Structure 1
Amino acid sequence: MAALCLIAPFVAMLWVGSYAKIEPTFIGIPFFYWYQMLWVPVSALLTTVAYILVRREKRALSAAERAGAADNGGAA
């Protein structure tokens, strides 16, 4: 899931045909420009989500390793 969060902005920006147009404009700014600028905060949000997911997974693995070590009497 974290990889999807990181790949989505790249796919969106590399698929130029989807946003290479002028209409619809937003406060006078052509679609081509405001679509790209919209991806700046969206990418930051998706990167944050990916970071949280990876951190959560690492914590779960650490807890599982500690629990496994405790079950084995501390032998690694």
Structure 2
Amino acid sequence: MSEKPGTQGIRPVVTPSRVVIGLCLVTPFVAMLWVGSYAKVDPKAFGIPFFYWYQMLWVLISTGLTAIAYVLVRREQRALRASREGGAAK
């Protein structure tokens, strides 16, 4: 339908980098959707119940994991672009 001409039959490639990217992006969702793992009051940190500080901690962890995924995607795009330019030059 919206495929580019000449790209029929090309399937996406699963690389180790893409697996890591997927895990970095899925992990925060799994951690937050598994409410039973953090639906408790103790242990408290600075008087804040576990339920709240655990979620606040995941905001920071999610930021880090998203940054890692972004760096890996950019690295993969640069490598793909370099291989295409190198292949076209030969």
TM-score where L is the length of structure 1: 0.91
2:48 aligned partner: 29
The residue type paired with residue 48 of structure 2 is I
Q: Distance in 1 between matches of 2:60 and 2:41?
A: 21
Q: Distance in 1 between matches of 2:30 and 2:72?
A: 20
- Deviation (angstroms), 1:17: 0.4
Find the partner of 1:10 among 18, 29, 33. Answer: 29
- Superposition misfits of 4+ residues, deviation over 6 angstroms: none
Q: Deviations over 1:16-53 (max 9, x none)?
A: 00000011000111100000000111111111100000
TM-score where L is the length of structure 2: 0.77
The residue type paired with residue 10 of structure 1 is F
Root-mean-square deviation (CA), in Å? 0.5
Unaligned runs of 5+ in 2: 1-19
